[in-house]
């Protein structure tokens, strides 16, 4: 049976949001979309706005989920972050962080500050 990727993605994003809430983050947005791209989760951690990419793999047989967040994807996330900051009147000095949640099977790994801002 073929499972819809969006349904699977939503399931693991829900799981990730629960995990982040338990770890003290406040979820602000889910699946924030604009013509540039999408960010899975936007949260607040203290003063930081955290832009989070969620990646799932059944196993690491074809590579770890974090490997899918390559330089091209990082640049896109940064551009979407810029747009989000613009439309929400967040100044350029608003602290931001880019995290990755990796789900392999039933194991969740949270990589805080997984990459730096890229222009």
Query: pLDDT tens digits for the chain (119 residues)?
Result: 445 555 556 777 889 999 999 999 999 999 999 999 999 999 999 999 999 999 887 766 666 667 778 899 999 999 999 999 999 999 889 999 999 999 887 789 999 999 999 88
**Cβ pair 25, 112 in contact under 8 A:** no
pLDDT, position 21: 96
pLDDT at 47: 95
CATH number for the domain including 12? 3.40.1350.10
Task: Measure the N-to-C terminal CA separation of the chain; round to a whole number of Å.
Answer: 41
Q: 34, 35, 71, 68: which is closest to 53 by C-alpha?
A: 68
Within 10 angstroms of residue 22's Cβ, the number of other Cβ atoms is 8
CA–CA dist 28, 5 (Å, integer): 23
pTM over 0.75: yes
Q: Which two tokens stand for residue 100?
A: 């990755």
Q: Residue 40 falls within a domain, yes or no? A: yes
Establish if 119 belongs to a structural domain. no
Q: Which domain holds residue 41?
A: 5-111
């Amino acid at each position: 049976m073929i499972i819809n990727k969006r349904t699977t993605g939503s399931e693991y994003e829900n799981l990730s949001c629960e995990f982040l809430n338990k770890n003290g983050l406040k979820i602000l947005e889910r699946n924030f979309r604009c013509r540039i791209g999408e960010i899975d989760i936007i949260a607040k951690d203290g003063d930081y706005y955290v832009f989070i990419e969620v990646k799932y793999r059944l196993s690491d047989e074809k590579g770890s989920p974090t490997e899918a967040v390559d330089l091209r994807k990082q640049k896109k996330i940064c551009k979407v972050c810029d747009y989000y900051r613009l439309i929400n009147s967040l100044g350029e000095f608003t602290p931001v962080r880019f995290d990755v949640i990796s789900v392999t099977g039933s194991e969740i790994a949270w990589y805080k500050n997984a990459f730096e801002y890229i222009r």
